[in-house]
Amino acid sequence: MKKIPFKIQLLAVMFVIGAAFLGFQAQVRSAADGKEQAVQSQSFNMAVVDVQALLTRSAAAKSIQEQLNVQREEFKKEIGAIDKKLKDQQQALIKSNGKGTEEEFNKKKSELEKSVMDARQTVQKRRNALDVAAGTALEKLRGEITKVVASLSDKNKYDIVISRQNVVLAVKSMDITEEVMKELNSSITKIDLKVETN
């Protein structure tokens, strides 16, 4: 039996290893392609909603704004009356200067200063009360928006719903704001503004 030269044996081994390696690479490539196709074949259903529009244009949002306007007008009248009272007190103090004792003047002056401090506190309380009431009402509205979006998401099988404010660009067909608006307006038209002034 004729002995096969070492170089030929080495070439044969390298050929077998190379063929095996190429076969392995083909399998890896095929598996990767399969995974990529599987990922591409999975549909991802996404929607966009303009929450800010719902918080300003919905019927409930408009009801909150109308109530805020009424409250602001009432507070404006109340503060106007306080301001008039303070001006009257100030005028009376100026007129009484030099008429009576220094002790009486200082007493009236202290009363005016106290009235000014009380007025400032009243104004601050009214502002805070209005801010808290508006915040609470808007939070309730956000909760209602979330319920409607969740319901539409279940119905339309959305994988994710993103706020329009967090999206730079989206296809118009992805925007469900008007659909949410319609559902929201049919479920709630008014949210009461509860202003605690005490």
Q: Taking the model in full, what pTM does it have?
A: 0.67
Give the helix/strand (H/E) hosting 160. Answer: strand 160-163
Q: 3-class DSSP state for residue 162?
A: strand
Rounded to whole angstroms, the Cα distance separating 125 from 29 reads 70
Q: Are 189 and 63 in contact (CB under 8 A)?
A: yes
pLDDT in tens, 25-34: 555 455 545 4
Token pair belonging to 115: 């009235």
Query: Residue 174: CB partners within 8 Å, gap ≥ 6?
Result: 46, 47, 48
Residue 188 has pLDDT above 80, yes or no: yes
State the average pLDDT for the chain. Answer: 80
Return the percentage of the chain with pLDDT > 90, whole number: 37
Q: Which of 70, 66, 46 lies closest to 58, judged by CA?
A: 66
